[in-house]
Structure 1
Amino acid sequence: MDYTYLGKSGLKVSRICLGTMNFGPVTDEKESFRIMDAALDAGVNFFDTANVYGGLGGGGKSGDTEELIGRWFKQGSGRREKVVLATKVYGKMNIEPDGPNNEGGLSAHKIRRHLEGSLQRLQTDHIDLYQMHHIDTAVSWDELWGAFEVAINQGKISYVGSSNFAGWHIAVAQKEAQKRNFLGLISEQHKYSLLCREPELEVLPASHELGLGVIPWSPLGGGLLGRNALKKLEGSRSEKIAEQVDKHKEQLEQFASLCNDLGEPQDVVALAWVLANPAVTAPIIGPRTSEQFENSLRILDVKLDEAALKRLDEIFPGPGGAAPKAYAW
């Protein structure tokens, strides 16, 4: 396994991040435990979750995934100590009564309460990376950084990250943190794939310049860049993908042909392409099975040459580089 520093911090994480959104609602506990054990055995030390996971469809409730991970930690054998644990705060928790302070947001009141809930569910005394799941422009940075400073001083979190921020949000956040002599953000978790290259305009350059490691989510384009996308496999998940497959069919067929020439499956090439970007720390893989997890490890051995990268740009054109050069003289 390869490791790198997460942004400007001294925290070392694996170049693959294990996403856990499927754990509980899609992948049962036994298989989830098996995947997490396999991840540790492979040297993957970076696990990502969120307080709302478990309640995002599938008939579960918010917090189910954190509780599952907590039970896995409870088995001992150094599991918690070996993991760089990341979770998130922002969304509405369907385990709490409806009310104005249980809507999406990042008030200091909500951060304090939801952090305590995550710690309890995860059966740990600290979160290594506590991430804002979305921007909340109704809350000032004085309030936000004040809340996170308290949590750090209490030893309940080690670092702060963001998710789904615009480039200018990241710039403002870091400027306001600097005013307080505070480390600020060390990571941005963002949607990024061959099918979603808009972050190359602002988010990736801003993150790279300001010391944030980028953690791409949905690096397989919601499954469209997977090895089975063109087969339109039966089932509720694949039926949802089918419409998008039709929309991008020509691109996906060209992509499949290129991958065949390279001798690698589509998912491996797509993930290797994301990992090749110097702004990227670790793409999030969200396996539903142990087999899918094992297949993902292959990306560390695949190095795409200039010809392959050029062909991928032709199949999936990006915005043309960073702003403003991408669109202005």
Structure 2
Amino acid sequence: MDYTRLGSAGARVSRIALGTMNMGPVIGEEESFAILDAAREHGVNFLDTADVYGGRPWGDEPGQTESLVGRWITDRGVRDDVVLATKAHGTMGPGVNDRGLSSLHIRAAVEASLRRLQTDRIDLFQMHHIDRTVPVDEVLDAFTRLRDQGKVVYLGSSNFAGWNIAQYREIAAATGRSPIVTEQSVYSLANRTVELEVVPAAAAYGMGLLPWSPLAGGELGGVLRKTDTSRSDPSRLGERRAQIERYEAFADERGIDPAVLGIAWLLHQPVVTAPIVGPRRLEHLMSAISAVDVELSEDDLSALDRIWPGPGGQAPEAYAW
């Protein structure tokens, strides 16, 4: 396993992050523990979860995934061996303050996550989505207070626009508050919209990008050769089928599994710290881990750009002179 800095922070994390969204509502505790064990054995030290995982649409109990991860960490005695990331923003109860990024909810969310995860600190606490109804000063005040209390080490964002990243970084720098060190966004060969503004903003501030859905919901995972699940039903691909056919043929020519190739491409993007993979089976995890050893040439990267063209660079050059 290779390691890198956690964005603009000093901590070092594995180039693959283990996402836990499926743990609990989709796969049971025994299989989840086996995946967590295998990840640790292969050097994955970066775990990503969220307070809402386990609730709808995954199941019916928000927080159950954090609780499962907490049981594994405690049972294995590995708290100091992992960099633990979670998130807050989504609805966690019926109350009007049981959601969003108000100082009230952030403080309650952190305390609840600490209990479920059975730990005294969260290494990377991420805003799961932008909340435009709450002043940035209030959000940063809440996180800075939690940092000073030792309950949160680093702050990250998720699903932020480029200008939101700049807004949070600049206000934090001007006021001495905790800066965001990572941004977690949807990013893959098949979905490159973030290259317009999010990628340039993260790069400018030295932040790390944590791509979620790195295989575009399975479309980059060899979907045309899979018939075992409805998620891999080729009939749902529509106009993208021709691109996927070219992509899978390219992978075959180079003797690389399509799922491995999709992760490897992300690892070749300079702003990417670690793609977040959410395996449902152990073999999915091992496939992602193997991508760390794949070297893609400039010709390979150019060929993939032709199959999956991005937006044409960053804004505004992508759409103006």
How would you bin the TM-score normalised by the shorter chain?
over 0.9
Deviations 1:258-295 (A, max 9, x none): 00011001111111111100010000111111111112
Structure 2 CA distance for aligned equivalents of residues 293 and 165 of structure 1: 27
Q: Which moved more, 1:318-327 or 1:206-215?
A: 318-327
| Contact 2:140 2:178 (8 Å CA) reproduced | no
| Contact 1:91 1:105 (8 Å CA) reproduced | yes
Alignment of 1:110-189 (within 5 A): 110-189=105-184
Structure 2 CA distance for aligned equivalents of residues 59 and 263 of structure 1: 38
The aligned amino acid for 1:177 is A
Number of matched residues?
321
Unpaired runs of 5+ residues, structure 2, are none
Alignment of 1:188-267 (within 5 A): 188-227=183-222, 229-231=223-225, 233-239=227-233, 242-243=235-236, 245-267=237-259
Q: How far has the Cα of 1:230 moved from its partner? A: 1.1
| Contact 1:232 1:242 (8 Å CA) reproduced | no
| Contact 2:87 2:126 (8 Å CA) reproduced | yes
The residue that corresponds to 2:95 in the other structure is: 99
| Contact 2:143 2:178 (8 Å CA) reproduced | no
Q: What is the TM-score of this pair, normalised by structure 1?
A: 0.95
The residue that corresponds to 2:75 in the other structure is: 75
SS at match of 1:299: helix
Q: How far has the Cα of 1:73 moved from its partner? A: 1.2
Structure 1 CA distance for aligned equivalents of residues 248 and 283 of structure 2: 21
| Contact 1:201 1:321 (8 Å CA) reproduced | yes
| Contact 2:22 2:58 (8 Å CA) reproduced | no
The residue that corresponds to 2:17 in the other structure is: 17
SS at match of 1:111: helix
Structure 1 CA distance for aligned equivalents of residues 43 and 194 of structure 2: 29
Q: Which moved more, 1:123-132 or 1:290-299?
A: 290-299
1:26 aligns with 2:26: yes
The aligned amino acid for 2:248 is A
The residue that corresponds to 2:6 in the other structure is: 6
Q: How far has the Cα of 1:57 moved from its partner? A: 2.4
| Contact 1:107 1:139 (8 Å CA) reproduced | yes
Structure 1 CA distance for aligned equivalents of residues 230 and 249 of structure 2: 27
Structure 1 CA distance for aligned equivalents of residues 4 and 97 of structure 2: 38
Q: How far has the Cα of 1:141 moved from its partner? A: 1.2
Q: How far has the Cα of 1:234 moved from its partner? A: 4.4
* Cα 1:290/1:232, change in 2 over 3 Å: closer
SS at match of 2:164: helix
Alpha-carbon RMSD across the aligned residues, in angstroms, is 1.3
Structure 2 CA distance for aligned equivalents of residues 110 and 271 of structure 1: 35
The residue that corresponds to 1:323 in the other structure is: 315
Structure 1 CA distance for aligned equivalents of residues 235 and 21 of structure 2: 22
The residue that corresponds to 2:295 in the other structure is: 303
| Contact 1:25 1:57 (8 Å CA) reproduced | no
Unpaired runs of 5+ residues, structure 1, are none
The aligned amino acid for 2:296 is L
Deviations 1:92-150 (A, max 9, x none): 01xx3x23212x41000000111111000000010000000000011111101110011
| Contact 2:17 2:48 (8 Å CA) reproduced | yes
Aligned residues: percent identity?
51
The aligned amino acid for 1:84 is V
The aligned amino acid for 2:103 is A
The aligned amino acid for 1:233 is T
SS at match of 1:24: coil
The 4+ residue runs of structure 1 with deviation greater than 3 A are 234-239
SS at match of 2:125: strand
